[in-house]
Structure 1
Amino acid sequence: MRPSLTGLLLVLTAVTGLVEAVSLLALGPVFTAMQTGNVLFLAFGVAGAGDLPALSSALSLAAFATGVLCGARLESAAEARGWRWVQLGLSAEAALILAGAAAGWGVAPRYGHPAAAHLLVTALLATAMGIRTVTSMRLNVPGVPTTLVTRSMTALIGSSALGHDIAFGYGTGAWRRRALAVLAMFTGGLTGALLIRAGWTVGELLLPAAAVVVAVTAVHRTLPRPHTG
């Protein structure tokens, strides 16, 4: 069976769940993909409430913004030249996650008061997730944004028999894709949390994520080249 773009993006959504488990539980508290959380963590940290460090959140926000800038320039330039821009974006993401694994090799997970190594890995992962967000937004597959599931969950509930909202696709099969996106994020997060409980180091935790992104990059080459609007 030929792989589908939606299927590959669902796999990447699971990778996000794994990466965020590492970020929040082994490096944080900090997010590297879901930047809404970092904006709030930063606000709470500046206010001195909840014992939340502001440095990790500020670093992640800055690194994510850098990743978005690099991803946008890289992928738009590649598409203008007729290159496979998706592969370039995913390859850059995989390289950054591998760099994070190298920087975190032998580093024990720590929740609260991160050391320099934890901050370095956070910056690398946030840059990777910034590039990923550009890639998924340029592909624009409805219901599978890969780096968050709030909109997918809202659309899933709104289009259900209880929500009954045609604007969200009530009466269509879109709910399956949205439900799978939520499930993929949960599965990735659960996997990461279980590996942390099993005693894996930060570097070991990131190797599976990098390997999956490399595999998705290779499989995507078999699909037709996408074009943005």
Structure 2
Amino acid sequence: MTAAPHGDRTGAWFSGPVHGPLPILLLVMTAATGLVDAVSVLGLGRVFVANMTGNVVFLGFAVAGAPGFALAASLAALGGFLVGALAGGSLATRRARRRGHLLRDAALVETVLLLVAVGLLIGLSGTPGSGLASAVAALAAIALGLQNSAVRHLAVPDLTTTVLTMTLTGIAADVRSSGRVVVTRRVLSVATMFLGALAGALLVLHVGLARALLPAPVLLAAIVGVLAVVVRRPAPWQEPVGARA
């Protein structure tokens, strides 16, 4: 991922000229990711729809016949994620010169996909059957694959919104060399994912899958609304990071 210019490490974190409002919006998106993965793991047969490293591992467990792991849902999530990433790459190419428009459009498509997934789960009692679980996993994975691809092109350091391995590594490995802004960004990324997963787990356990998933598209819709307003005014953060290097 493209490294941030030095000004991003010392300037205003939430509204600086390099990334503008993107960091706070990506933190909201990270919380939504934790919530969606909580629903998928706890309600769809132990399948990740955002974290493909975990999903590939779960897929191996399912192929081995380990109980509790859904082969069909894992395959659907893996395939859906690739489709979403492909779509996200195409969207990023078309919106390459406007980062705010890219995130707005990606979040809008995600919102629609997750609302369809919520619709499939409405009225469901108990654990969804393999067919329904696979369909919901595929839709959610398409949404998260699209998100992952779009966010990758935004190039905001330490805010991938879907995986935390390198973020956690950076917190520990660079603790002596990273500035306060960088450490804060990384810690907040981990914290928001945790809080999203916690909220998702509590909702799954106490209110059911459809209602547990619903806050995710609501958060994404809020991101769309914010960006619909802020992108109307040209600003330096809208330009690709590489163009200002």
TM-score of the aligned structures, taking structure 2 as reference length = 0.82
Q: 2:140 aligns with which of 114, 125, 128?
A: 125
Gaps of 5+ in 1: none
- After the TM superposition, which residues 153-172 of structure 1 pair with which residues of structure 2 at under 5 Å, given as runs? 153-160=168-175, 164=176, 166=177, 169=178, 171-172=179-180
Q: Do residues 20 (structure 1) and 37 (structure 2) align?
A: yes
Gaps of 5+ in 2: 1-13
1:154 aligned partner, one-letter code: T
> Which residue of structure 1 aligns with residue 219 of structure 2?
212
1:28–1:114 contact (8 Å) kept in structure 2: no
| Cα distance, 1:148 vs structure 2 | 1.3
Q: Do residues 183 (structure 1) and 200 (structure 2) align?
A: no
Q: Do residues 192 (structure 1) and 205 (structure 2) align?
A: no
Q: Cα deviations across residues 93-122 of structure 1 (Å, max 9, x unaligned)?
A: 111111111111122453xx8432222111
| Partner SS state of residue 162, structure 2 | coil
Q: Cα deviations across residues 137-167 of structure 1 (Å, max 9, x unaligned)?
A: 111111111011111111112222xxx3x3x
Q: Do residues 34 (structure 1) and 47 (structure 2) align?
A: no
1:217 aligned partner, one-letter code: V
Q: Distance in 2 between matches of 1:174 and 1:137?
A: 18
User: For the aligned residues, what is the CA RMSD?
Assistant: 2.3
Q: Distance in 2 between matches of 1:220 and 1:83?
A: 6
Distance 1:105 1:77, change over 3 A: same
| Cα distance, 1:198 vs structure 2 | 1.3
Q: Cα deviations across residues 58-109 of structure 1 (Å, max 9, x unaligned)?
A: 1110010000111111231233699922211111111111111111112245
Distance 1:109 1:208, change over 3 A: farther
Distance 1:50 1:103, change over 3 A: closer
Q: Distance in 1 between matches of 2:84 and 2:99?
A: 22
Distance 1:49 1:76, change over 3 A: same
Q: How many residues align?
A: 219
Q: Distance in 2 between matches of 1:18 and 1:147?
A: 11
2:222 aligned partner, one-letter code: A
1:191 aligned partner, one-letter code: A
1:32–1:64 contact (8 Å) kept in structure 2: yes
> Which residue of structure 1 aligns with residue 181 of structure 2?
173
1:62 aligned partner, one-letter code: G
Identity across the alignment (%): 35
1:72–1:134 contact (8 Å) kept in structure 2: yes
| Cα distance, 1:228 vs structure 2 | 5.6
Q: Do residues 94 (structure 1) and 111 (structure 2) align?
A: yes
Q: Distance in 1 between matches of 2:171 and 2:95?
A: 34
Q: 1:85 aligns with which of 102, 106, 118?
A: 102
1:76–1:85 contact (8 Å) kept in structure 2: no
Distance 1:51 1:20, change over 3 A: closer
Deviates more, 1:9-18 or 1:134-143: 134-143
Q: Do residues 139 (structure 1) and 154 (structure 2) align?
A: yes
